[in-house]
Amino acid sequence: MSDNVRKVDYFYTTVSNTPGQGAEIMAGLAAEGVDLLAFSGFPSGRRAQLDLVPADSARLKSAAKKLGLALSTKKTGFLLQGDDRIGAMTNVLTALATAKINVTAVDAVTTGDGRFGAIFWVKPQAVARAAKLLGAK
């Protein structure tokens, strides 16, 4: 199977950087039936930023409202999935670099069963160019 890249919506929220915040939010979203394609959390100043990539943006927004979770406006990222191999990200990153499209951030992981996934972001003004270059829908 070849690599597949697609555009995805993502939202972020900031929370207190204290133990249990992520667990509480994940439990609340799960209880509301929110399916996340990706989730990333990291410190941001004295707080923590949680990036949420939902399978269904409307469901995430509805759940966030019920949970009192303030979300950012919708932003666009890319989800890359494929067969794991040495240098799995090389082709995509090289294509973007050659086109002079800077990758703002990337998180990648192997599933351990021969597959990998990555979420990555480019500047908003570069999304359309990156999508066309990578064949992302």
Tens of pLDDT, residue by residue over 118-129, are: 999 999 999 999
- Fold exhibited by the domain 76-134: Alpha-Beta Plaits (3.30.70)
What's the distance, Cα to Cα, between the start and end of the chain in Å? 18
C-beta separation of 7 from 137 below 8 A: yes
* E strand or H helix at 121: strand 115-122
Please state which CATH class domain 10-74 belongs to: alpha beta
pTM exceeds 0.75 for this model: yes
Q: For the chain, give every residue range classified as CATH 3.30.2130.10.
A: 10-74
C-beta separation of 84 from 53 below 8 A: no
Q: What is the DSSP string of 6-50?
A: EEEEEEEEEEE-STTHHHHHHHHHHHTTPPEEEEEEEEETTEEEE
pLDDT in tens, 5-42: 999 999 999 999 999 999 999 999 999 999 999 999 99
What average pLDDT does this structure show over 62-71? 97
Percent of the chain with pLDDT over 90: 98
